[in-house]
Every structure is written in structure tokens, then in C-alpha cells.
Structure 1
Amino acid sequence: MAQQVRGVVAPGKGQPVRVETIVVPDPGPGEAVVQVQACGVCHTDLHYREGGINDDFPFLLGHEAAGVVESVGDGVTDVAPGDFVILNWRAVCGQCRACKRGRPWYCFATHNATQKMTIGEGPAAGVELTPALGIGAFAEKTLVAAGQCTKVDPTASPAAAGLLGCGVMAGLGAAINTGNVGRGDSVAVIGCGGVGMAAVAGAQLAGAAKIIAVDLDDRKLKQARTLGATHTINGRTADVVESVRGLTDGNGADVVIDAVGRPETYQQAFYARDLAGTVVLVGVPTPEMKLELPLLDVFGRGGALKSSWYGDCLPSRDFPMLIDLYRQGRLDLDAFVSETIELDGIEEAFAKMHRGEVLRSVVIL
């Protein structure tokens, strides 16, 4: 039987979010209903509210979440009621050309739940909601495709574990999966928001010898040192490219990760890497941005220019492994939780995020 729960809805472009009653249907074939325990406030949720993703309003926001499976539909075998899971926004299909080639992290046909959640009360009752990234987890319960649920160690803190659902996984994966950072490498990370901080932590986890954090905010640079940065550069007062080269014997870093996603930061990343080094773009550009580079430099410097989408992660492989490292004390996911809030605190959390005061505000349900 369908349930009514509270959830945070973005009703229209630029409008403040509000807590609404929403209707969560029983899971159909291949679907699961999850009781959400914690969900991080990500920049992507703000992009949805501002109409920066698409205009399929109203949105049910929230996607960096962990919780407990309440019920499953027909044909679901990988998770069961009572399982503690992290939600992901890329349920792989197993049938596309990427999956059949043994590269499911590139799946070209990821999917979400088929049924729609709806607004439950008021003038908009019955209106279908678009869940953010196919999840919609600023809610007491949500409906997802069962493949979006990854079972992990239930002793992990939901507030910390849920952050692997998006931003932290994107940064860790940019370093470990896409950048292939190895022992002894030098790494520079441009931009120390949540994703960039996670890239710093990922570089340390991979054994990088030198980790250079770059940002415009000394507060963030100070925190980057607690997560593994060995050196910091404030881009307001120093030339980023020359500073990175100066810290790497004049050569440039083996891997440079652009966690901002602007033409100017990408150019910095391109020229701050060593010959035959790797650039990883994990910051998300906006549609109007254009990049201009001398083609001869692209050819002459060699190496690899990569984009990292969701950290090139495979949730079924990466989430349990990273939670195990967290439980062993080798990955400090708790450091990314700046504060815990309630459902009605989302707008203030957006403001704090915009001001650079938090890595992540986390809604506890």
C-alpha cells in the first residue's frame, strides 16, 4: 500500500524549497523502497533548484543517502528488507556494450525506478515528482531501482556512508579510478570543495608522495592538510602553474585533478602537469563554457586528458571496499560531515555551502 511521508520539494526555478507530503508507491518489479537515515546536501541539489539540470519541476531533492531497505518488488535478489544500503544514481544494466565488455562503470543504459512518487496534499496533490538523480532522498522514504541500492557494513555511520553516494565518491574515484594515482606519485588538486577534498583523501589513500591542494580560501586549504595534502597553494596570491612546478622539481605533477570545472582551472591543470602526465576533469562545467588550447601543446605534452564521471565508480565494487577502509580508520569519511540538520534546514544549508562554510551539511531522518 502506498505511503505518505515528508520530503523536500523544489517547486519551481529559483523558488525556495519546502517540506511537502509525498506519496511513495509500493515497489514494483525491480524496485525498492528505502527508509532514508541520512542524506548530504550537495551542490547538485542546488543546481536542480536553480533549473541548472533541467526544467522537470517539481523536483524531490536529495541523493547522497544511506538507509535501510524496507521492501522490494518482484525479481529483486541483490538486496532484501533490513539491508543497510548506500544509494547510487547509476544502476547498471548489465546488457549494454560497456557492460558486456566488462566495463560496467561506463554503463550506457543506467536506470531508475519506473514508478513516480507524487505530491500528496494541497492544490498540487497527485502531481508527479522528478527525483534528483533518480533518488529523491530528502525524504523519510524513497522509491528507487533496486540496482541503486548497494549493501554495506551496517555498523557504518549513515551520515558518513551516504556521502559516498555522490560527491565523496566522485573525488575519491577521480584520484583512484580515473587518475590511477600510484605510490610515490605527485598529485595536484585544484578546488577544495567536497569533491576536491575527497580527491585529496583519495590521493593519500593511493599512496601519493606529494599532494598539492589549490584553492582561493585559506580555510579550505587548512582543512585539506588534515585530509592528506602535503602542500597548499592559494590561487589568489600565487601563480598556480608555477607554484605546482616549483614543488615538483620544475616538472609539474604526475596527476592534476580539476575539481572546479572552469576553462581557467582546466588550463592551469593542463600546464601544471608533468610531460606525459594526466589531467582529470571532475568539476562540472556549465553548458556555455568553452576551452581553447594550442593543439600543438596537446600533442607535444603527451599523457592523458580524462573526464571522471561519478569517479568512474562501480558502486557494487567500490562502496563496500571504501566502507571497509572507513571502518578500519584508513578513510576519514566523518571529516566530510560539517553539520547535521533536519529536513527544514535545506535552504540555510544551501546558503552555508555557497559561502564555503561547510563541506557537507547532512540531513538526519
Structure 2
Amino acid sequence: MKAAVLFEAKQPLEIREVQVDKPGAHEVLIRTVACGVCRSDLHFVDGAYPTPLPGIPGHEAAGIVEAVGSEVRTVKPGDAVVTCLSAFCGHCEFCVTGRMSLCIANDVKRPRGSTPRLSMDGQPVHQMLNLSAYAEMMLVHEHACVAIDPDMPLDRAALLGCAVTTGAGAVFNTTDVTPGETVCVVGCGGIGLAAVNAARIAGAGKIIALDPVPEKRALAEKLGATHSYDATAENVVAEVVELTRGGVHHAIEAVGREASAKTAVNVLRRGGTATILGMMPLASGVALSALDLLSGKKLQGGLMGSNRFPVDIPRLVDFYLRGLLDLDTIIAERLPLSRINEAFDELRKGDAARSVITFD
């Protein structure tokens, strides 16, 4: 199969022929139909986060099941599926207490010394984030995918695997927005736009979008933002606080920068909660001041939208099919695998929402 392989950080991916093994007992072989181009992959490609190489990035995908292992019962050949990087074992402390997105058990990987799932010229190719979706086929653990309604267009469904699960999940799961509460989303890329859309579905009152790019602010307003501001404007925090008469109930950071995380904290009202979704540089940090603490403000992370993806993703599909979740607006362009490096170049510019790699 053809795949986009990362051999060295800060270097372009190369399209190579890669061998994929047959499914093990609890594994699923999937023909990839579409995969979103996510900034999380860019962190590995650009060397901001370490990862074993050579490897195949890509983690926001949808496809069709080609084959399953002998013990797989959740999906079958021919099923349309969405994959999710937060593969879960099902029996660790995190899983049995309902925090499946925090599971890091090795049960979802092949045991050390086993034949690798992916290889090239007889040498292993590392599977990144349990998926490696910039490839014509994916071989994953059965707990890394979920069957969806076959009426769902798979190029849109791919976004559910990360951007929407993270952004919408932050609203539905991590923050538990109450109807009428105010929400501020800092950063209007794929994750931020999904959070805006989810806030509208959740019945939030004022929904404020902050982004330096006018076109992204316009997309946010189309998806449900009641107000939008330039995130880099000198008085933006004061404007948000004045608009909301003291600050917002919930601020969701979807960029991955210290400055945007600080903005999320500063726009909160007393007792408000800031949820940080972006992958900040590893040496970064964000904090609450003594006055913030005395004001009852709260700061939390939101890994992958605190998802229970076998339940969440089919519900998100239903939202789309019923016209509640707008995924069409989030997609800026569709590109073939051969143009993956161009897609990353566009992502580095930060002007567009979401590019999707499609496989014909």
C-alpha cells in the first residue's frame, strides 16, 4: 500500500510502498477513505513532540472495514467506521471508571517481539497514535474504531475522529455547558470551530469566538458564534468581559500557545472554568494567579474531549445527519495523499480551517 512516511523531523513526508500485516485476533484492517490534516500531526512532523521514526502520521480518519480478527465482534467487513487515537483496553482503572480517553494500556498494541503491523523493506515502521492513517490501509486494535451509519459521508466523518471529538467533546463532556451559559472559544481552527458548533447545540447563550484571521471568525459566526473578535487585539479581553458583564462561564482554548491559554483564563468570570485543548510546547505552562484562585476560577485539560468514542461518535454522526452539526463548513479543501506536504504547509500558515486527504 502507499503511505506517507516521516523519516526525519522537519523534513517532508515521502510517499512509499509499505507492507501491512494481516489482522490479529483483536485487530481490524480498514481501507482508508479520508483523513483530516490535524495540527497534532504537525507537532510530530516539525519535531516539537518526540516520536519513534520512521513512522506514518495521520489520526483523524474514516474508512471501510476490509477484514477482522477472529475475536472481533464490534465491527465486520463492509462496515463504515471512524477511528480514534484514544484506543482503550476496557479493563484498566481509567476505563472502568468511565475515563476511557485517559487509557494508556499496552493491550491495544502488539506485544514486543511480535511481527509489526507495518513494515518497509523488512524493517518495522512505527504506528503513530495507534492509527497511522496517511496510508491506503490501517491495521488497528478493535477498540480504536467504531461502526457508524452508512449514510454518513466519510470525508466529513473523518473529522469526528479528532477535531470534532476534541472540540465538541470539550463542550458536551469536559465542561458540561448548561443552556444559557456564556462560552468563549480561543482559536477557530478545526477544533475551535467544532467547539463553537457544539456550544450552539448545547444551548449556550453568548458564544464568543477569538481568532486573528477574519475568515476564520466568519466561519465561527456561521457555525453559531454570536460575537467574534481579533484574538490579538490589545483590548480583546476587556471587550469580552464587558460584553458578558463580568466574563464567561466557560473558556475553551484550541490553539496550543501560552498566550491563548492566558487569554482563556483572563476572560473568565468569577467561578468560571478554562479548558485547555491545544498541544502547547512541552516546556510551556499555564497557571491561575492568587486572585484567580480567590475568585473561584478553575483550570483544566481536556484530552480528546474526555470522550467515550464508541458512544460519542455515533451520536455526532446523528447530529450531522439531522442537520445540527455542520461539518461541511469546517472543511477548507480535499487533497490526494500525494499533496500531504502542501497540506502541512497550509496548516503552518494557519489561515484555513481543515484540509482532508481523500483516497480514491
**TM-score, scaled to structure 1:** 0.93
Residue among 239, 242, 250 paired with 2:238:
242
Equivalent-residue separation in structure 2 for 1:350 and 1:105 (angstroms):
26
- CA-to-aligned-CA distance 1:12-62 (integer Å, 9 cap, x gap): 121111110010110012111101111111112222222233241111121
Is residue 281 from structure 1 mapped to residue 247 from structure 2 by the alignment? Answer: no
Equivalent-residue separation in structure 1 for 2:99 and 2:323 (angstroms):
30
Task: Give 2:138's aligned amino acid.
Answer: T
Distance 1:118 1:109, change over 3 A: closer
Provide the residue aligned with 2:326 in structure 1.
332
Provide the residue aligned with 1:193 in structure 2.
189
Task: Give 2:255's aligned amino acid.
Answer: V
Equivalent-residue separation in structure 2 for 1:83 and 1:245 (angstroms):
48
Contact 1:89 1:112 in 2 (8 A): no
Displacement of 1:278:
1.2
Distance 1:148 1:292, change over 3 A: closer
Equivalent-residue separation in structure 1 for 2:135 and 2:18 (angstroms):
8
Displacement of 1:119:
4.2
Residue among 243, 263, 277 paired with 2:258:
263
Displacement of 1:110:
6.7
Give the SS at the match of 1:78.
coil
Equivalent-residue separation in structure 2 for 1:133 and 1:107 (angstroms):
13
Displacement of 1:306:
1.5
Residue among 57, 81, 103 paired with 1:85:
81
Provide the residue aligned with 2:168 in structure 1.
172
Provide the residue aligned with 2:40 in structure 1.
44
Displacement of 1:331:
0.5
Residue among 7, 13, 16 paired with 2:9:
13
Contact 2:88 2:108 in 1 (8 A): no
- CA-to-aligned-CA distance 1:80-114 (integer Å, 9 cap, x gap): 11111000112221211122234434435375441
Provide the residue aligned with 2:58 in structure 1.
62
Provide the residue aligned with 1:116 in structure 2.
116
Give the SS at the match of 2:216.
helix
Equivalent-residue separation in structure 2 for 1:265 and 1:186 (angstroms):
18
Is residue 128 from structure 1 mapped to residue 124 from structure 2 by the alignment? Answer: yes
Equivalent-residue separation in structure 2 for 1:39 and 1:266 (angstroms):
28
Contact 2:118 2:127 in 1 (8 A): no
Task: Give 1:257's aligned amino acid.
Answer: I
Query: What is the number of residues matched between the two proteins?
Result: 355
Give the SS at the match of 1:74.
coil
Task: Give 2:59's aligned amino acid.
Answer: H
Q: Output aligned runs, 1:140-155, within 5 Å.
A: 140-155=136-151
Contact 1:22 1:117 in 2 (8 A): no
Task: Give 2:116's aligned amino acid.
Answer: K
Equivalent-residue separation in structure 1 for 2:5 and 2:56 (angstroms):
5
Is residue 252 from structure 1 mapped to residue 253 from structure 2 by the alignment? Answer: no
Equivalent-residue separation in structure 2 for 1:44 and 1:54 (angstroms):
12
Task: Give 1:116's aligned amino acid.
Answer: P
Provide the residue aligned with 1:355 in structure 2.
349
Structure 1 stretch displaced more, 56-65 or 320-329: 56-65
Residue among 21, 29, 32 paired with 2:28:
32
Contact 1:277 1:303 in 2 (8 A): yes
Displacement of 1:146:
0.9
Provide the residue aligned with 1:219 in structure 2.
215
Task: Give 2:270's aligned amino acid.
Answer: L
Give the SS at the match of 2:329.
helix
Q: Gapped runs of 5+ residues in structure 1?
A: none
Equivalent-residue separation in structure 2 for 1:106 and 1:55 (angstroms):
19
Contact 1:45 1:132 in 2 (8 A): no
Q: Gapped runs of 5+ residues in structure 2?
A: none
Distance 1:54 1:260, change over 3 A: same
Distance 1:51 1:331, change over 3 A: same
Is residue 96 from structure 1 mapped to residue 92 from structure 2 by the alignment? Answer: yes
Give the SS at the match of 2:18.
strand
Structure 1 stretch displaced more, 39-48 or 325-334: 39-48
Task: Give 1:285's aligned amino acid.
Answer: M
What CA RMSD, in Å, does the superposition of the two structures yield over aligned residues? 1.6
Equivalent-residue separation in structure 2 for 1:323 and 1:338 (angstroms):
20
Contact 1:28 1:73 in 2 (8 A): yes
Task: Give 2:310's aligned amino acid.
Answer: S
Structure 1 stretch displaced more, 285-294 or 24-33: 285-294
Provide the residue aligned with 2:294 in structure 1.
300
Distance 1:110 1:307, change over 3 A: farther
